[in-house]
């Protein structure tokens, strides 16, 4: 896949991280506070670097160079500049530091917006091909009103308003000139306002809710788990005189799998993966081989039970990935039928089901065709 920077050579980035960041209630300015396992600032910088954008100039508070360097360690193209007393002054300092690099365009972004979807970057650069500036926006959903002290004033038309996000994209010479031409106190809320004041037309593109700006202590609180992952593994011996069932489908073969039930090794691995993700034990606990009622039972009952147990606990199937390990039979001719059958049992779209196969190159019990093994991974998402 082509990286973003390849679509616009000479693309640089500015990340604004020079604020005090006190409202977030963190022991350090919020741009350096940990979020999802790394400093908040690092998330956006890593995204830009991964897309081939360089240089990445980060405006930081005076005296914060050491903590900023630690937060950005190892990110190619990242460098620091001391910010100013306001956001606008910090951006101006970063843009001035880029003059020797002579970039063709620049993305200006708030460090407090850690998630940067590639799709938004693509929309911005597409608009920048036709305009000197582009910004991501979202519609206003709630009703709006002006205020008269503590009382409701005149209503505002939400249809005419948009929520403005970053990153914002500009032709570099134009936005640098706009900052230099600004008169009055440097208190603009964002760079689009600076551009507009200089007579630059600013195009609007669709933003994304994940670009939410982290501001309050609640934004840094640990979110409830939205997904869980489980894995499963099983192996059964191949014997003559048994039917071979895999993924709920009967396969013509000289040997079948031995077990207390129908010994569908693929489904058994998948059941363990789903139960494991739900924190609900394993297949042996729910269907003990010592219980005669499960002798010869069809394994689709086990899989339907695991999905139901997960649903009762508030989870649904996100996707499942199953690998069958055997020398024979060939799985490829049966793969789509297996996917369809598993999807039917679980009550999900076939697109959420993956079935793959591999061999052990003649090694081990599966390589000697003594048995078939399977391993599975299941992703459960919160209902």
* Residues 45-95: tens digit of each pLDDT: 999 999 999 999 999 999 999 999 999 999 999 999 999 999 999 999 999
d(CA 208, CA 172): 24
What percent of the chain has pLDDT above 70?
A: 96
3-class DSSP string for 31-88: HHCEECCEEHHHHHHHHHHHCCCCCEEEEECCCCHHHHHHHCCCCCCEEEEECCCCHH
Q: 203 and 248 share a domain?
A: no
Which of 220, 247, 269 is a domain's end point? 220
User: Residue 236: phi, psi to the nearest 5?
Assistant: -135, 150
pLDDT of residue 289: 83
Query: How many domains does one find in the chain?
Result: 2
CA neighbor of 16 nearest in space, from 71, 74, 70, 82: 82
Q: For residue range 27-42, what is the model confidence (pLDDT) as tens digits? A: 467 899 888 778 999 9
Residue 141: pLDDT band by 50, 70, 90 thresholds?
very high
Q: 273 and 363 share a domain?
A: yes
Q: 61 and 128 share a domain?
A: yes
Looking at the predicted structure, is the pLDDT value of residue 279 above 80?
Answer: yes
Residue appearing with tokens 């010479």: 173
Q: 144 and 265 share a domain?
A: no
Q: Is 351 helix (H, G, I), strand (E, B) or coil?
A: helix
10 Å CB burial of residue 7 (0-12, 13-18, 19+) is middle
Radius of gyration of the chain (CA): 28
Least-confidence region, from 19-28, 279-288, 372-381: 19-28
pLDDT of residue 216: 77
More confident residue, 220 or 178: 178
Instruction: List the structure tokens of 7.
Output: 């679509």
Q: 268 and 193 share a domain?
A: no
Residue 116: give its domain's CATH number: 3.90.550.10
Looking from the CA of 372 toward its CB, the CA atoms found within 13 Å total 30
Question: Could you tell me the residue range of the domain that residue 337 belongs to?
Answer: 227-382
pLDDT of residue 25: 45
Residue 364: give its domain's CATH number: 3.30.1330.50
Q: For residue range 228-250, what is the model confidence (pLDDT) as tens digits? A: 999 999 999 999 989 999 999 99
Q: 23 and 142 share a domain?
A: yes
pLDDT of residue 221: 65
d(CA 95, CA 92): 5
d(CA 37, CA 348): 32
Looking at the predicted structure, is the pLDDT value of residue 149 above 70?
Answer: yes
Looking at the predicted structure, is the pLDDT value of residue 273 above 70?
Answer: yes
pLDDT of residue 24: 42
Q: 157 and 238 share a domain?
A: no
List, as one string, the DSSP characters of 190-240.
Answer: SHHHHHHHTT---EEEE--GGGPPP-SHHHHSPPPP-EEEEEEEEEEEEEE
Which of 202, 220, 238 is a domain's end point? 220
The whole-number average pLDDT for the span 163-178 is: 98
Q: For residue range 288-347, what is the model confidence (pLDDT) as tens digits? A: 888 888 887 899 999 999 999 998 888 899 999 999 999 999 999 999 999 999 999 999
Which of 198, 220, 242 is a domain's end point? 220
Q: What Å distances lie between residue 325 and 49, 104, 329, 360, CA to CA?
A: 39, 52, 10, 7
Give the H/E segment covering residue 380. Answer: strand 371-382
pLDDT of residue 325: 97
In the predicted model, what is the mean pLDDT of the chain?
92
pLDDT of residue 222: 55
Q: 360 and 245 share a domain?
A: yes
Q: For residue range 13-28, what is the model confidence (pLDDT) as tens digits? A: 999 999 765 444 454 6
Instruction: List the structure tokens of 114.
Output: 């850690």
Q: For residue range 91-137, what is the model confidence (pLDDT) as tens digits? A: 999 999 999 999 999 999 999 999 899 899 999 999 999 999 999 99
d(CA 82, CA 58): 8
Q: 212 and 150 share a domain?
A: yes
Instruction: List the structure tokens of 31.
Output: 């741009």
């Amino acid at each position: 896949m082509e990286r973003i920077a390849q679509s616009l050579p000479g693309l640089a980035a500015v990340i604004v991280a020079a604020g005090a960041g006190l409202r977030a209630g963190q022991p350090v300015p919020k741009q350096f506070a940990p979020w999802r396992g790394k400093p908040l600032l690092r998330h956006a910088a890593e995204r830009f670097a991964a897309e081939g954008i360089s240089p990445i100039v980060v405006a930081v508070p005076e005296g914060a160079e050491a903590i900023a360097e630690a937060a950005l360690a190892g990110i190619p193209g990242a460098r620091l500049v001391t910010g100013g007393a306001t956001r606008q002054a910090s951006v101006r300092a970063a843009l001035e530091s880029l003059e020797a690099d002579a970039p063709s365009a620049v993305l200006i972004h708030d460090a407090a917006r850690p998630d940067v979807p590639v799709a938004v970057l693509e929309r911005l650069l597409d608009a920048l091909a036709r305009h000197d500036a582009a910004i991501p926006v979202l519609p206003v959903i709630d009703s709006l009103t002006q205020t008269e002290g503590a009382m409701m004033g005149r209503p505002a038309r939400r249809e005419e308003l948009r929520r403005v996000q970053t990153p914002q994209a500009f032709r570099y010479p134009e936005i640098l000139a706009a900052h230099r031409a600004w008169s009055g106190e440097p208190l603009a809320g964002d760079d689009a306002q600076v551009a507009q004041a200089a007579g630059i037309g600013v195009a609007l593109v669709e933003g994304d809710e994940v670009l939410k700006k982290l501001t309050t202590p609640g934004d840094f609180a640990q979110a409830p788990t939205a997904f869980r992952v489980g894995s499963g593994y099983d192996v059964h011996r191949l014997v003559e005189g048994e039917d071979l069932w895999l993924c709920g489908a009967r396969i013509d073969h000289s040997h079948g799998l031995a077990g207390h039930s129908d010994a569908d090794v693929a489904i058994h691995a998948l059941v363990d993966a789903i139960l494991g993700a739900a924190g609900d034990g394993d297949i042996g606990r729910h269907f003990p081989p010592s219980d005669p009622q499960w002798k010869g039972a069809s394994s689709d009952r086990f899989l339907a039970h695991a999905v139901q147990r997960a649903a009762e606990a508030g989870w649904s199937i996100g996707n499942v990935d199953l690998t069958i390990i055997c020398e024979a039979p060939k799985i490829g001719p049966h793969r789509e039928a297996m996917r369809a059958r598993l999807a039917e049992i679980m009550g999900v779209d076939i697109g959420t089901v993956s079935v793959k196969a591999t061999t052990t190159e003649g090694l081990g019990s599966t390589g000697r065709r003594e048995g078939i093994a399977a391993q599975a991974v299941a992703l459960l998402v919160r209902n």
